[in-house]
């Protein structure tokens, strides 16, 4: 079905109650080889100080691993989230049950991000057991163009190749991420919408103690790569040099409308590592790790370990008021 995208600009301010805002609709599809497919259809309202996202999540798991993931980190359902920066509060909504919970941002940070915060390496700390053998990251603009959701887009190709060795176990890993980006020129209302979204995201990331990475996060599938890492029971991988990434990504001119990526992963040699136990993520990760380590069937070794597809369906620049960021009155607060 043909999608209609409108970029509507309201530049008048109707009193102090109204402020500039963005409404964005997005579709995401992720395929984790070996244990399931995850899809999200979301709509988000964003102003400089608040956001209200509504998402319909669907996870189709495979086997025991998929069942465990569905109960912990990849839940299906109809959910909402309100982030209020002035009050430093996050409201989590269950739209099916018409219930919500409230958490201070500091508490949310502690519960959800405690083990994933970006930390600087400690001086004098233990030397890494990983030795990078090869590292490449490049962006190639192409001449290919097409219209997506009424946006005139140009195609860009990204290749991220990393090879490393665990000097203790002798294992050699190779990962290749191939990404295709269709971007539209960033002008007029679209540019204003992105700037408004960036203002909110920057302040929110500051409160979480994180750095706002802009389009880099979606283009490189950072959320899904991090999740895959958790499912692999916290296997280590070397970090890509940020300066090189930023430099290359500047070649992508405009706003990414569609981003699709495929991660290919392989391993050779080395000693067996003990299974991770304890926390739920470790249990799921250990099982997923065992699934991924099974000898692949004919042709499976050429399949990607992870694929992701992100499509911006609509972007509207509109005036929003505080009432647009409130919990529905018939929802019950859950302790």
168-172 contacts at long range (C-beta below 8 A, 24 or more positions apart): 168/129, 169/129, 169/270, 169/271, 169/273, 170/269, 170/270, 170/271, 171/267, 171/268, 171/269, 171/270, 171/271, 172/133, 172/267, 172/268, 172/269, 172/270
Q: What gap in Å lies between CA 243 and CA 230, rounded to an integer?
A: 25
Q: Given this model, what pLDDT does residue 118 score?
A: 44
Residue 13: inside a domain, yes or no?
no
Distance between CA atoms of residues 7 and 311, nearest Å: 16
Do the domain assignments include residue 12? no
For residue range 184-232, what is the model confidence (pLDDT) as tens digits?
999 888 999 999 999 999 999 999 988 877 777 778 887 777 777 666 5
Give residue 231's pLDDT: 60
What are the backbone angles phi and psi of residue 110, rounded to the nearest 5°? -65, -45
Whether residue 54 contacts residue 95, with contact meaning beta carbons closer than 8 Å, is answered with: yes
Task: Residue 255: give the domain boundaries.
Answer: 23-110+129-269+277-293+305-333
Q: Give the model confidence (pLDDT) of 135-152 as tens digits.
A: 899 999 999 999 999 999
Residue 147 exposed, middle or buried by CB count within 10 Å (0-12, 13-18, 19+): exposed
Strand 50-61 to strand 36-46: parallel, antiparallel, or no bridges (unpaired)?
Answer: antiparallel
Contact yes or no for 117/209 (Cβ under 8 A) = yes
Check residue 299 and give left, alpha or beta (phi > 0: left; psi -120 to 50: alpha): left
Residue 7 lies in a domain: no
In a domain, 157, yes or no: yes
pLDDT surpassing 50 at residue 4: no
* Token reading at 174: 């190779």
Question: Which stretch of DSSP H or E encloses residue 166?
Answer: strand 151-166
Quick one: how many helices (H) and strands (E) in the chain?
7, 12
- Is 188 within a domain? yes
How many domains does the chain contain in total? 1
Residue 15, in any domain of the structure:
no
Task: Let me know if residue 166 belongs to a domain.
Answer: yes
| Each residue's pLDDT tens digit, 164-195 | 898 888 889 899 999 999 999 998 889 999 99
The answer to whether position 323 is within a domain reads yes
pTM of the model: 0.80
Q: Distance (Å, rounded) from C-alpha 210 to C-alpha 47?
A: 20
């Amino acid at each position: 079905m043909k999608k209609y995208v409108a970029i509507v600009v309201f530049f008048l301010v109707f009193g102090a109650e109204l402020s500039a805002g963005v409404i964005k609709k997005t579709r995401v599809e992720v395929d984790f080889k070996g244990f399931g497919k995850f899809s999200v259809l979301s709509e988000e309202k964003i102003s400089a100080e608040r956001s209200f996202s509504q998402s319909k999540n669907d996870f189709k798991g495979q086997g025991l691993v998929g069942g465990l993931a569905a109960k912990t980190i990849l839940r299906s359902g109809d959910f909402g989230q309100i982030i209020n920066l002035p009050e430093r509060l996050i409201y989590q909504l269950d739209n099916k049950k018409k219930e919500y919970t409230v958490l201070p941002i500091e508490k949310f940070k502690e519960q959800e991000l405690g083990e994933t915060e970006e930390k600087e390496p400690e001086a004098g700390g233990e030397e890494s057991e990983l030795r990078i053998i090869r590292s490449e990251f490049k962006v190639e603009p192409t001449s290919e163009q097409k219209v997506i959701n009424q946006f005139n887009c140009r195609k860009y190709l990204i290749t991220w190749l990393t090879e490393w060795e665990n000097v203790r176990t002798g294992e050699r890993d190779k990962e290749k991420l191939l990404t295709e980006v269709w971007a539209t020129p960033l002008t007029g209302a679209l540019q204003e919408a992105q700037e408004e979204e960036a203002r909110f995201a920057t302040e929110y990331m500051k409160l979480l103690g994180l750095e706002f990475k802009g389009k880099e996060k979606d283009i490189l599938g950072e959320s899904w790569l991090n999740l895959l890492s958790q499912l692999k029971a916290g296997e280590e991988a070397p970090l890509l040099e940020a300066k090189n990434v930023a430099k290359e990504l500047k070649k992508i001119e405009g706003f990414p409308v569609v981003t699709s990526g495929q991660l290919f992963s392989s391993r050779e040699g080395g000693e067996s590592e003990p299974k991770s136990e304890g926390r739920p993520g470790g249990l799921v990760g250990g099982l997923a790790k065992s699934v991924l380590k099974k000898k692949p069937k004919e042709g499976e070794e050429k399949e990607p370990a992870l694929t992701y597809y992100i499509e911006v369906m609509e972007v509207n620049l509109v005036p929003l008021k505080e009432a647009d960021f409130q919990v529905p009155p018939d929802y019950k607060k859950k302790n």
